[in-house]
Amino acid sequence: MRPSSSFQNRSPLGRILFWLALAAVLFFFLFPLFWMLVTSFKERSEVTLLPPTFVPFAQFQPTLINYVAVFTRVSELGTANIGEANLALSQFPRALFNSVLIGGTTTVVAVILGTLAAYAFSRFRIKGEGDLLFFILSTRMLPPVVVLIPIFLMFIELQLRNTFHGITLLYITAGLPFVVWMMKGFFDEIPKEYEEAAMVDGYSRLEAVWKIVLPEAIPAMLATAVFVLITAWNEFVFVQRLNPQEFSTVPPFLYAIIGYGRTEWGRMAATSVVFLLPIVIFTFLVRNHLLRGVTFGAVRR
């Protein structure tokens, strides 16, 4: 990647100010992550030290007790003696599995259904299309707390509380409007002539969509999937009230760590680091498609 001509034409002072501003922005966004990572390797007595310590091995001796406490019943509040009874698995592995299962299912189903709906809105004349699109978007205008009570009553009536399919269906419903609007804007950028040329050559519409349109839409689908997954991954209110026992995810588990006594900040930081890893890995794997997907315009007329 080469610097743009406008950047090269700047004065030395302008370049220095640019890099200083960039460094300040990076520090602002990355320091909380760095502090969370460092805290996860500290003992409880070192977390609350003033002035705080930042450099492992130089200012404090790192420990893995917090990560052991994440996956087992060993607590940092206890002594250093780790008994066999305390090495039993905690509730976190199950909560993490539920997060992966619910978030993954929600993302796949929402992206598939939303992509099909977006293609229909983009390619066909639908009566009342503007009203339908506004209605789809309006479902995201209300905060979760406002609709929590009617959804709670509906879950009780339909016996969906504490079920996998109940909370997953709710997350799919919440993610679909975003997918439809994102994908429709992308499909509008793909010329219809590509499909028409394919159908002239003998392809059916489904074959043209599968072989011509979808390969161009993959970047947008992956970019949309990242946002849908992050939303389902971090959701707290619905799963806390609708799935407090079975199929509970990690956000309520993190809240439970606070407890009613002394907060285990090290264990909470370690849990947050492990909880963050799947999202970071997935985003890293699709990084080459993210910029192209979120900026649209992959194909120009």
**Is residue 20 included in any domain, yes or no?**
yes
**What pLDDT does residue 261 have?**
61
Same domain, 43 and 191: no
Residue 70, pLDDT score: 87
The DSSP line for the chain is: ----HHHHTS-HHHHHHHHHHHHHHHHHHHHHHHHHHHHTTS-HHHHT-SS---SBTTTB---SHHHHHHHBS--TTS-S---TGGGSB-SHHHHHHHHHHHHHHHHHHHHHHHHHHHHHHHHS--TTHHHHHHHHHHTTSS-HHHHHHHHHHHHHHTT-TT-HHHHHHHHHHHHHHHHHHHHHHHHTTS-HHHHHHHHHTT--HHHHIIIIIHHHHHHHHHHHHHHHHHHHHH--HHHHHH-SSTT--HHHHHHHHH-SSS--HHHHHHHHHHHHHHHHHHHHHTHHHHHHHHH--SS--
**Are 156 and 245 in a shared domain?**
yes
| The last residue of a domain, from among 87, 122, 156 | 87
Tens-digit pLDDT profile for the chain (301 aa)?
555 556 566 778 888 888 899 999 999 999 999 999 999 998 888 888 888 888 888 888 888 888 888 888 766 444 444 555 556 778 889 999 999 999 999 999 999 999 999 999 988 888 888 888 888 888 778 787 888 899 999 999 998 998 999 999 999 999 999 999 889 888 888 888 888 888 888 888 888 888 888 888 888 898 899 999 999 999 998 998 888 877 889 998 888 877 656 778 888 899 999 999 999 998 888 877 776 655 554 444 4
Is the distance from CB of 231 to CB of 106 less than 8 angstroms?
Answer: no
Whole-angstrom Cα distance, residue 53 to residue 47?
8
Assess if residue 192 is contained within a domain: yes
Tell me which of 61, 87, 113 is where a domain ends. Answer: 87
How high is the pLDDT of residue 188?
86
Domain boundary among the residues 53, 87, 121 is at: 87
- 253 and 280 together in one domain: yes
Residue 301 lies in a domain: no
Q: Are 262 and 77 in contact, with CB atoms under 8 Å apart?
A: yes
User: Is the same domain home to 150 and 279?
Assistant: yes
76 and 158 together in one domain: no
Question: Is residue 37 in some structural domain?
Answer: yes
Q: How many domains does the chain have?
A: 2
Query: Are both 31 and 109 inside the same structural domain?
Result: no
Domain limits for position 165: 92-295
Domain-located, residue 271:
yes
Same domain assignment for residues 149 and 283: yes
Domain check: are 220 and 240 in the same one?
Answer: yes
- Residues 110, 82 share a domain: no
Instruction: Clarify whether residues 209 and 280 are in a common domain.
Output: yes
Same domain, 199 and 77: no
Look up the CATH number of the domain holding residue 110. Answer: 1.10.3720.10
Q: Which two tokens stand for residue 230?
A: 């992050």
300 is a domain residue: no
Sign of CA dihedral 150, 156, 162, 164: negative
Question: Does 273 map to a domain?
Answer: yes
Does 253 reside within a domain?
yes
Pair 39, 151 in one domain: no
255 token code pair: 């809240």
pLDDT at 96: 92
pLDDT of residue 8: 61
